[in-house]
Structure 1
Amino acid sequence: MKPLKEFTIPFVGLKLGTHHFNFKIEQAFFEYFEYEDFNNSNINVDVELVKNTTLLELHFTISGTVNINCDVTNEPYDQVINNEFDLVVNFGDEYNDENIDILILPHGAYEVNIQQYIYELIVLAVPIKRIHPGVEDGTLSSDILEKLKELSPELDDEKKKNEDIDPRWNTLKKLLTDK
């Protein structure tokens, strides 16, 4: 998979200090990764790069919305996501990304590609259980919700009212209270 050029930061020509980069993430970005869970996306990524003499520090901040389907009703809704991540880029003999927070680039590297970090940061910001806000507050009306209510088991209080208790049990209960 070839890296996307717009997510490659050439750091060789940058002065020592802090530099800011902004990226707008839309659905085409996830199509590149063949990730199909999002119907649509509108995400802003702010990257603050601090260049030091021996290493680079990157601070990622994402905010925006992704349109996903609810796990309960399969209705699409916009999920707000926010996430942050810090990455240290150091230099060594060979490329190494085994550590989550540290990326080692070979000596002589002049750019860093951050597309994989942005992708993982966005995907991990989405909750595991995706529930439409209308389901939680009861404002969503859906055929699936109506069917779920119809098929759900009755509450315990209603069951007790509907069941006829065997009179022998009442006699046994008197034994407990007659002490």
Structure 2
Amino acid sequence: MMKDLEAYVIKFVGLKQGKHQFEYKITDEFFDFFEYDDFNTAEVNMTILLNKKANMLEFSFTAKGNINLNCDVSTEAYDQPVQNTFELVVKFGDEYNDDNEDLLILPWSDYELNIAHYIYETIVLAIPQKRIHPGVEDGTLDSEILDKLDELQPKAEEDKNEDDIDPRWEDLKKLLND
């Protein structure tokens, strides 16, 4: 498994100080390594900008692409555009420490960093919590599930007759106005 993620290892020791750019095309196969299957397909371009300084490394991760998801309302598949950035500072110290999400401390002896997990997090955090097909939002999606949901929708308040209102509510409304 780690052998397959070898493409995401950046050997920073041999790099000159300054900016270095790395490009990756991330597809659903990448997420198989993390056993993540909350979407159908993924096609995301990752740009990693590494600014190597004398005593630290600054990484900037930028994800942009499309992920095919199933809608939470209609269960219809749709392409969700995703875009996200993540900044990581890598410093060196006596021992490994990743307690802070924006700061990674590597031992002085380290000469490379596997960035696969940071790529994974950058993309997964770009996926919206609530997944709604654009056709559901604008009313253009024709779906049996949506038709059934409309059919089961409770009747609107204006359909109720004024006589059906419990007189106790009227008394309570008077208290609000006092």
- How high is the TM-score relative to the length of structure 2? 0.89
What SS does structure 1 have at the residue aligned with 2:85? Answer: strand
2:6 corresponds to 1:2: no
What SS does structure 2 have at the residue aligned with 1:5? Answer: helix
What SS does structure 1 have at the residue aligned with 2:31? Answer: helix
Letter of the structure 1 residue corresponding to residue 78 of structure 2 = Y
CA distance in 2, matches of 1:45, 1:137: 30
For 2:49, the equivalent position in structure 1 comes to: 48
What SS does structure 2 have at the residue aligned with 1:61? Answer: strand
Paired residue total: 167
For 1:59, the equivalent position in structure 2 comes to: 60
2:64 corresponds to 1:77: no
Instruction: Give the ranges of 4+ consecutive aligned residues of structure 1 lying more than 6 Å apart after TM superposition.
Output: none
Give the superposition deviation at 1:136. 0.3
Give the superposition deviation at 1:108. 1.6
Letter of the structure 1 residue corresponding to residue 2 of structure 2 = K
Note the 1:1-179 alignment, pairs <5 A.
2=2, 4-160=5-161, 165=163
Q: What is the percent sequence identity of the aligned residues? A: 55
Over residues 136-177 of structure 1, what are the superposed CA-to-partner deviations in whole Å (9 max), with x where a residue is unaligned? 0000000000000000001111223xx7x27xx7xx99xx9x
Give the superposition deviation at 1:27. 0.6
Letter of the structure 2 residue corresponding to residue 126 of structure 1 = I
Letter of the structure 2 residue corresponding to residue 6 of structure 1 = A
Letter of the structure 2 residue corresponding to residue 94 of structure 1 = E
Where structure 1 has 5 or more consecutive residues not aligned to the other structure, the ranges are: none
| Cα-Cα RMSD | 1.8
Structure 1 or 2, whichever has the larger Rg, is 1
- How high is the TM-score relative to the length of structure 1? 0.88
